Amino acid sequence: MSPSSAFARADVVLVGGGLANGLIALRLRAMRPDLKVLLLERDRRIGGERSWRWFETDLAPGLAAWLRPLVTHRWSGWEAGPAGAERYFETPCFALTGERLSQALATALGANLWLGVEVTEIAPHQVTLADGRRIAAAAVIDGRGPRNTRSLALRWRVSLAQAVTLDAAHGLSCPVLVDAVEAGDPACPAFTVLPLGPRRLRIEHARYAATPVIDPAPFRAAIGRYARARGWTIEQAASEDADALPIALGGDIDAYWREARPEVAKVGPRAAIFHPGTGHALPDAARLADQIAALPRITSASVRAVAETYSKTAWRRRRFHRLLNRLLFVACPPEARPQVAARFHRLPPSLIHRFHAARLTLWDKARILAAPSPIPLAEAFEQIPDRAAPPRTER
């Protein structure tokens, strides 16, 4: 099948070459080599400058083993906390770079990886490209990233990451997550630093916002200030990645699935599948890719059913994460948010890892709510139900 055919046919067409569809493509090629899988990506490259990080505790051993060949960096622990008082966590942490995902997809799909191809229409068994070409398939899977919706109340974790080379060794041996460096800022500014080589770092600056709009200049300036405060001199800022990750405050997941061509199979944030507290997506993407590849018959209906069940089950199980977001972004006095967010990393390490794995126990939840806080809890519970449309009181 060539990108120039006027009409093409495949068993599975994946629309959007992000993490969600990228992992589905790799899992299908490994478990279902009989299927013709075509991946269509609008950009000229896959993955861009992104790096996906996850913890050992996020994934069951079987899935971790499957991802192992994709891992580009492994650290034996990570640090987190307020600047200068970071705490060490002894849990291995991994990263996969966009470049590695791109190489793996090029090897697995060969000529069935179409780049620079924009899809304008998606139906359960056919897609139409911007130039009018059509492709038919038993399964069409929409992985085009988050979409606008009125059914979910979202905030955004707006992030810009720079891959930089320093003039001297940085001295870091593991990733560092730094909270609330500018006390009192309601956007809860944070930095994530990944050591990629003796002088190479990936520095990500994130801020919470009501909209996904990014103005890169203040982010670049904040990264520069942070590097100088650490005593690092940036010799070269090689590449940049900026985007907004959804953070869930509440909403109606059933209504979300009834919207926008409900008969089409969707995955990743397009299917409202993401960690509600961090916006991260890799563990869910790996689990769903595995479930899809294990289906006896891969059709739009069967993929849609498994993705919808995954999305709705995860949404219901992660109710408490959304409550925490509402407490932080609706009930908390804005200037007290950094203080509340920073306190999180003082909780027991096992609880923090269960938070990231979205597997909090009842005891964990009680422990989080029992911590002293400036949030008026009783009032907050009454004001901000989970199923409401975007909360009226949001500040």
Q: Which is nearer to ligand FAD, 127 or 384 (CB)?
A: 127
- Which ranges of 111-167 does DSSP label H, i.e. alpha helix? none
Applying the rule CB under 6 A, the residues between 145 and 164 that interact with ligand FAD are 145, 159, 161
Q: Which amino acid is at 191?
A: F
Applying the rule CB under 6 A, the residues between 326 and 365 that interact with ligand FAD are none
Could you say whether residue 189 binds ligand FAD (CB under 6 A)? no
Could you say whether residue 20 binds ligand FAD (CB under 6 A)? yes
d(CA 298, CA 294): 9
- Strand 113-115 and strand 119-123: the pairing is unpaired
Among candidate residues 240, 223, 234, 241, the one with its CA nearest the CA of residue 181: 223
Could you say whether residue 19 binds ligand FAD (CB under 6 A)? yes
Could you say whether residue 41 binds ligand FAD (CB under 6 A)? yes
Q: How far is the CB of 243 from ligand FAD (least distance, A)?
A: 3
Are 256 and 272 a contacting pair, CB within 8 Å?
yes
Binding residue for ligand FAD, selected from 8, 15, 138, 352, defined by CB under 6 A: 15
Among candidate residues 373, 375, 394, 370, the one with its CA nearest the CA of residue 384: 394
Q: How many residues are there in the chain?
A: 395
Q: Which is nearer to ligand FAD, 22 or 250 (CB)?
A: 22
Are 332 and 184 a contacting pair, CB within 8 Å?
no
d(CA 316, CA 308): 12
Could you say whether residue 304 binds ligand FAD (CB under 6 A)? no
Are 295 and 11 a contacting pair, CB within 8 Å?
no
Q: How far is the CB of 282 from ligand FAD (least distance, A)?
A: 3
Binding residue for ligand FAD, selected from 10, 21, 207, 341, defined by CB under 6 A: 21
**# chain residues binding ligand FAD, by CB under 6 A:** 34
Binding site for ligand FAD (CB under 6 A): 15-21, 40-43, 50, 52-54, 118-119, 143-145, 159, 161, 204, 241, 243, 245, 268-270, 274, 279-282
